[in-house]
Amino acid sequence: MYSHSLPSSFFNSTKHCALITNSLPTAPFSTVSPSLHTGCSTPKICSSGSPAREEQRRPVVVGRREAIGVLGLCLGAVGLRQSAAAEETTSAACEFTAAPSGLAYCDKVLGFGPQAEKGQLIKAHYTGKLENGKVFDSSYNRGKPLTFRVGVGEVIKGWDQGILGGDGIPPMLAGGKRKLKIPPELGYGMRGAGCRGGSCIIPPDSVLLFDVEFVGKA
């Protein structure tokens, strides 16, 4: 389900960083051997006697702080691009796995933090869609994640099971992103939701599609 391959654009975008980091000496950053730059074993043999030429051949000294700063920026850029590329790849190849309850899930990004505990107050971002692709709600549009106690019925059953796990579904970890396909019996059932004047935001017996991001405990 998960691909570790990276697009060709990733390698092209990191070439500049590779050139910078490869140019850094392996010796202590405060000193540079002239032989690394001139190809000579001793500076005296390579000396031309001309101050101008000696100035041109003088190596550039890279301070420890500057070198670490450049290396950190490069590694940070690489990490961000790897994360984005991994998420893009898994999102494109995401296939649902169904549990006996009828709930199906697909992990887009595996989390890195602790899993939620039943009754714990947590935060989660989400986008909810109908099977026709229509978005009926999104916490991202409000700019604030949903805060609730998981596993105690404050949200629909499909959410509790989809986050806590169980019935063949692994629990989500903080920082994880998961797609959920929730059948009507674990959603709003025959009632639907947001019904008014004969129309419903979520029609009765609707299958719901959620993109859930488990932010962490509140």
Catalytic residue IDs: 126, 136-137, 156, 188, 210
From the list 121, 178, 116, 114, the residue with the least C-alpha distance to 154 is: 121
Please state, in angstroms and rounded to a whole number, the distance separating the CA atoms of residues 63 and 24: 10
Q: Do 134 and 209 form a contact (C-beta atoms < 8 A)? A: no
Angle at 202 between CA 201 and CA 206, to 5 degrees: 160
Alpha carbons 167 and 99: distance in angstroms, whole number: 6
Helix (H, G, I), strand (E, B) or coil at 144: coil
- Burial string for 192-213 (b: 16+ CB within 10 Å, else e) reads bbeeeeeebbbeeebebbbbbb
Pair 122, 214: CB distance under 8 Å: yes
| DSSP state for residue 121 in the 8-state scheme | E
